[in-house]
């Protein structure tokens, strides 16, 4: 069973949040704006490719626009196994969080 | 108010609106205050639709008020209602400027040429989409928000990181690190 790494989880959640508008740039913006974490497009694409290979994401070629220099967008969608993996990751995180002592050792 | 401040206000408005759920999809560029060019792409257009999928003129007006003098807002709205199609083609509404102004904004500050060539080294699988995304963000977000110098730096940064990420698996394979990583259970 494949588990998601931290950045993989962020990417999956960004794709879920964006719905039908999930492509490289919007996914990166979502991570930067919402998770307040820096992420390069290179990192995002490497992760997307890996998640696609694992079968957690599916992709479809979209439209071209002028701002993109006529290049097509690649839209991503979370698959059923991907959604399951996200739930598992969140569940295990939740389980570990409950009972975690937040005190800092001095 | 500087151009950067005006654009920043528009970005905040689109975020508050929350239709995209995330990033500011609409933007406006004032080439000069007296000759505003407001350029809406397909994504920003979506932000301006109401529940029924029709153009919400009040939303459009609100967005434009942040960046245009009042008279120009009304002229833009009139122009928009007359010519706006709602399709994914860019819709241009402006007072003065015309296609030349659009060209100056979208194409007038091209990304660094060497960086563009360097991006061709990325493996073919995602090359087109990755370069498209970098260019789109460069033109629609970074350039209007941060200016030419920062945008060029950003483009270079993204190029170097993209190359790094695409080359790293090959380097790892060459060095035999993959096998070692498997051995240590990574």
ipTM of the complex: 0.88
Look at B23 and A30 and tell me if their CB atoms are within 8 Å: yes
- Does A38 reach chain B within 8 Å, measured CB to CB? no
Q: Hunting for tokens 């996200």 — which residue is that?
A: A86
Edge-first strand order for the sheet with B29-32 is B29-32, B35-40, B91-94
Contact of A7 with A43, CB cutoff 8 Å: yes
Look at B163 and A29 and tell me if their CB atoms are within 8 Å: no
Name the residue in chain B with its Cα closest to that of A73: B129
- Token output for A24: 């490289």
Chain A / chain B CB contacts < 8 angstroms: 98
- Token output for B144: 């209007």
Which chain A residues have a beta carbon less than 8 Å from that of B132? Answer: 24, 64, 68-69, 71-73
- Does B47 reach chain A within 8 Å, measured CB to CB? no
DSSP state of B25: -
Task: Give whole-number Cα distances, B89 to B23, B39, B42, B100, in Å.
Answer: 21, 11, 7, 17
Name the residue in chain B with its Cα closest to that of A24: B133
Per-residue pLDDT of chain B (186 residues; tens, 9 = 90+): 444 554 455 555 444 444 332 233 334 333 332 233 344 443 455 555 667 766 666 766 666 665 555 555 666 566 555 544 333 333 333 323 333 333 334 445 788 889 988 998 888 888 889 999 999 888 888 887 777 888 899 999 999 999 998 888 788 777 777 677 778 775
List the beta bridge partners of residue A61: A74
Q: Give the per-residue pLDDT at A22.
A: 92
Q: Return d(Cα A61, Cα A84) in angstroms, integer.
A: 24
Average pLDDT of each block of 10 consecutive residues along chain A (106 residues)? 87 93 92 90 94 93 82 93 94 88 70
- Does B165 reach chain A within 8 Å, measured CB to CB? yes
């Amino acid at each position: 069973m494949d588990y998601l790494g931290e950045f993989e989880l962020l990417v999956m959640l960004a794709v879920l949040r964006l719905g039908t508008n999930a492509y490289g740039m919007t996914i990166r913006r979502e991570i930067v704006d919402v998770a307040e974490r820096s992420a390069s497009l290179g990192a995002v694409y490497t992760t997307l490719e890996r998640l696609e290979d694992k079968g957690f994401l599916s992709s479809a070629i979209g439209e071209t626009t002028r701002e993109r220099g006529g290049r097509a967008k690649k839209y991503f969608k979370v698959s059923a196994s991907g959604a399951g993996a996200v739930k598992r990751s969140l569940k295990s995180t939740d389980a570990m969080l409950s009972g975690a002592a937040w005190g800092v050792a001095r | 108010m500087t151009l950067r401040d005006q654009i920043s206000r528009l970005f905040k408005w689109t975020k508050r609106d929350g239709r995209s759920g995330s990033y500011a999809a609409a933007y406006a560029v004032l080439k000069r205050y007296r000759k505003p060019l407001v350029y809406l792409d397909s994504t920003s257009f979506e932000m301006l639709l109401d529940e029924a999928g029709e153009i919400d003129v009040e939303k459009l007006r609100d967005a434009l008020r942040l960046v245009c003098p009042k008279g120009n807002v009304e002229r833009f709205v009139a122009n928009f209602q007359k010519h706006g199609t709602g399709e994914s083609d860019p819709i241009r509404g402006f007072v003065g400027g015309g296609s030349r102004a659009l060209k100056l904004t979208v194409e007038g500050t091209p990304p660094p040429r060497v960086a563009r060539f360097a991006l061709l080294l990325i493996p073919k699988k995602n090359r087109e989409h990755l370069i498209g995304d970098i260019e789109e963000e460069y033109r629609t977000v970074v350039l209007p928000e941060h200016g030419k110098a920062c945008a060029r730096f950003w483009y270079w940064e993204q190029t170097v990181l993209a190359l790094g990420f695409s080359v790293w698996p090959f380097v790892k394979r060459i060095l035999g690190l993959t096998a070692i990583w498997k051995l240590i259970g990574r």
